[in-house]
A = this chain, B = another copy of it.
């Protein structure tokens, strides 16, 4: 990153802050009243800015399970119900959540929410990405985007912040937003993430990582793991070799959820390009970091047991998992389809045949979380995604989406039978609506499949939203390119606080529902306060020095600066050229920062800043003198630690990483100018001296 780029970014950030400060106080209320029309995109882009019902009520749940059917709009639910159960039938799990037992049942709720996203309106464009493929910090929050993708929607429910399609837990300016796993771990809770998709796919990714591009799967991006694709689908500055916080797979390890089960094992065969594990595969890194790993081995997955501080990472297929049903193909109107309606058939390759259905994975996750002392004591948050409802809807594959909905329902059913709804809130929803529509007769324009349902009748499922109309020789389209749709969505909940799920809300409200029930920090202020007890220790080990940062629980990214105390010269610094540059916080753990520039006997000033909280730890220290056999320079510190410091509360450095706080322009202008100068300086230092 050159000086010009850093300057441009910082100026843009300033302009943005100034614009925020110039606006009137937010027009929305946080007391349960209704938000008015007409919010600006800047307002909507704030953390919590798109909520429709601010947190109402305060009923707490020890545990929360979020069942997320990707692309499972009301139409997709009805398609699957009609086919599998009959139009009057019901899903034992999917339809039972939110179903009241009596009038006013406080443990049941159903509602809808809006799902729009922000940005430039294209699902592939990151806001603020320049022509060179880098993310320049951008003052333009973009526009309203009527139809969300899974990453903007996932960021929305996982962090409470509306953002652009393609964003993973970063806001429209690229700033990381704390997610439910980060907040749950800060509260001492156990966490689990289960999906039928690649574990790097948008929905699981929003609980593992912060990425300006959803396709940044591994150190080599979304490749097959063997090539070093130049495109990568990663912002260059986010990659570890360039001083960034790393790919989604790498950050998954930093997040260190207690249980992670899904697909996408091939991306873990990619090679780490920077930092402590450079040159190793991500699988090797995982094992060295103490994970219990399983790669594509059903028996091993089912044999997994809870082991203290050995989180589970089980990836059961190279890519997305095979679907439960064989695919059907939507085709152009043809009377022959009415005469010979499609009956879906089981897929021999489905992993459920080997004990790895979504229900099996959910059972394993619940068993592991239940055996986890943190889960037992403090509760857990578990996300279970039925991912391929969406993927098969995209492909115009009615049987595929139906089978996946069935698999999803079985997982919910298992949970309902095995958790205590007196202390566990179970939520079922989707992340966006999709294309499939139920008709009585084949449409002329759209492609369709005629299915013979459980009622013994023909049901037409119509697919008409593809942008590309190229067709193959059978009259089918080439490739799966049906589109998401923008209708409001259903949400249902059972358990404590389920009544929060009612009325018309926004997708960002779901974050507040879950975080509120678990008692997590929801406001920007309370999230920043999670770093108030941050502490940094400098450890020496045979002449190598490391800063160990702990307690930065309100942060996802750290920046640091090591100065020569005497000369004031910057010796080492993190890259701060983008909001996803710097040191990735190891969630609720100790984050190590190698300090390579220290010489024996030298005096230094170390400053570590949480880029989201703005909390800073800064202190001076002296490296032990040459020949000293005792590294214990400070008698109050344990052996090996030569110095330490604690967060200087009240002196936060509010900068790019701030989690959408309500900034006030005048008060901040001076600080911004100072920080701007520092930004340029540190960026230069990084280039010149590392």
Contact = CB atoms under 8 A, between A and B. Distances in A.
Interface of A: 32, 34-39, 41, 44, 50, 52-53, 56-59, 73-75, 77-78, 81-82, 85-90, 95-96, 98-106, 108-112, 114, 116, 121-123, 143-147, 333, 433, 435, 437-447, 453-460, 462, 464-469, 483-490, 492, 497, 499-500, 502-504, 506
B503 A110 contact: yes
Contacts of A144: 86-88, 453, 455-457
Contacts of A56: 100, 102-103
A110 B112 contact: yes
A299 to B, nearest CB: 34
B146 A74 contact: no
B100 A37 contact: no
B44 A88 contact: yes
Nearest to A444: B469
A238 to B, nearest CB: 25
A88 B34 contact: no
Give 7 closest A-B pairs by Cβ, nearest first: A57-B103, A464-B464, A438-B486, A444-B469, A37-B89, A87-B116, A75-B487
A166 to B, nearest CB: 13
B32 A101 contact: yes
A419 B454 CA distance: 45
Contacts of A110: 110-112, 502-504
A21 to B, nearest CB: 21
Contact of A143 (B53, B104, B456, B484): B456
Nearest to A470: B444
A100 B110 CA distance: 12
28 contacts: A35-B90, A37-B88, A37-B90, A39-B86, A44-B88, A52-B90, A56-B100, A56-B103, A58-B103, A74-B112, A75-B485, A82-B116, A98-B502, A100-B503, A109-B502, A110-B502, A143-B455, A145-B457, A146-B460, A333-B469, A437-B485, A438-B486, A444-B467, A445-B446, A446-B464, A446-B465, A492-B503, A492-B504
Please state the number of chain copies in the assembly: 2
A457 B34 contact: no
A90 to B, nearest CB: 6
A439 B88 contact: no
B114 A87 contact: yes
B57 A102 contact: yes
Contacts of A112: 74, 110, 490
A59 B103 contact: yes
Nearest to A143: B457
B487 A73 contact: yes
B487 A146 contact: no
Given A144-B455, A464-B443, A465-B462, A88 B116 contact: yes
Given A36-B89, A88-B116, A445-B464, 19 more contacts: A56-B100, A57-B104, A59-B103, A74-B433, A75-B487, A78-B114, A78-B487, A104-B104, A121-B458, A123-B440, A146-B453, A439-B485, A440-B484, A443-B466, A444-B467, A444-B468, A445-B465, A445-B469, A459-B486
A95 B113 CA distance: 11
User: Which interface residue of A32, A34, A146, A483 has the most chain B CB atoms within 10 A?
Assistant: A146
Chain A's interface: helix, strand, loop or mixed, by majority?
A: loop
A492 B486 CA distance: 20
B486 A88 contact: no
A443 B488 CA distance: 20
Contacts of A101: 32
Contacts of A441: 467, 483
A463 to B, nearest CB: 8
Contacts of A503: 98-100, 108, 110, 492
Nearest to A76: B487
A457 B146 contact: yes
A410 to B, nearest CB: 15
B487 A74 contact: yes
Nearest to A39: B88
A511 to B, nearest CB: 16
A133 to B, nearest CB: 22
A112 to B, nearest CB: 6
A214 to B, nearest CB: 16
Contacts of A95: 504
Contacts of A469: 333, 444-445
A462 B41 CA distance: 25
A485 B485 CA distance: 15
A173 to B, nearest CB: 18
B37 A439 contact: no
A122 B487 CA distance: 27
A634 B490 CA distance: 66
A59 B459 CA distance: 39
Nearest to A94: B504
A412 B414 CA distance: 42
B90 A488 contact: no
B103 A104 contact: no
A575 to B, nearest CB: 34
B106 A104 contact: yes
A53 B465 contact: no
Contacts of A90: 34-37, 52, 504
A85 B439 contact: no
A74 B81 CA distance: 18
